[in-house]
Amino acid sequence: MLPRLMAVLLLSGGLLASLGDTATAQAAARTDACVPPGGWADAAARPLNAADLLRRAAASPAVLLGERHDNADHHRWQLHSLAALHALNPDLAVGMEMFPRSVQPVLDRWSAGQLTEAELLRETNWPKVWGYDARFYLPILHFARMNRLPVVALNVDRGLVSRTAREGWAAVPANEREGVGDPAPPPASYAERLRQVMAAHAP
């Protein structure tokens, strides 16, 4: 039997392009434009065999499905990818960065069929915790519920994010970290790239 697969929805491949790096954004736009609908390509825009790729992905412990949050095509692609992965490995969970861990009980009730859309959005405080049009994400949430798949909240509350920015992660007691462990030390090249990305946010 295949192991539990976690399909994770998050801002991934479009991160640098969304942060004001004009050259990166233009390159990403060209890459987006050259991949035909339903096609797959690697980072160098070389086409990949979809069936082989999905079989490998379905046997992995986790698959990251990136997005630009306000791009409807990306969300349709995520849904189609989830359906393909589920067909190959029904032991699937859907991880979403859109929800903080504090609302996990609400997501459990949603997957169990106990909430309406309006109740889900209200009880997760969607406008505050995420804010993007819920219609981008509801088809994915309905897919999870229809197939009784766990939806896993991957984010933390904004208060913890703000506290970490002010005080540093080491200053946050373990019992107040919302289950998040210490990060692995990043390679120097990644740390430098991340520093440049974050510098783009500086006032």
pLDDT of residue 36: 75
pLDDT of residue 184: 87
pLDDT tens by residue, the chain, 203 residues? 445 677 777 654 333 333 333 333 444 444 455 577 778 888 788 889 999 999 999 999 999 998 889 999 999 999 999 999 999 999 999 999 999 999 999 999 999 999 999 999 999 999 999 999 999 999 999 999 999 999 999 999 989 989 998 999 999 999 999 999 988 888 999 889 888 887 876 65
pLDDT of residue 155: 93
| Residue 63 φ/ψ, nearest 5 degrees | -130, 125
Which residues have C-beta within 8 Å of that of residue 98, sequence separation ≥ 6? 9, 129, 130, 132, 137, 155
Integer Cα distance of 50 and 95 in angstroms? 22
pLDDT of residue 157: 92
| Residue 62 φ/ψ, nearest 5 degrees | -155, 145
3-state secondary structure (DSSP) of residue 47: strand
> Domains of the chain (ranges plus CATH)?
5-155 (3.40.50.11550), 158-203 (no CATH)
CA-wise closest residue to 134 among 193, 75, 90: 75
pLDDT of residue 22: 35
pTM (predicted TM-score):
0.78
pLDDT of residue 29: 46
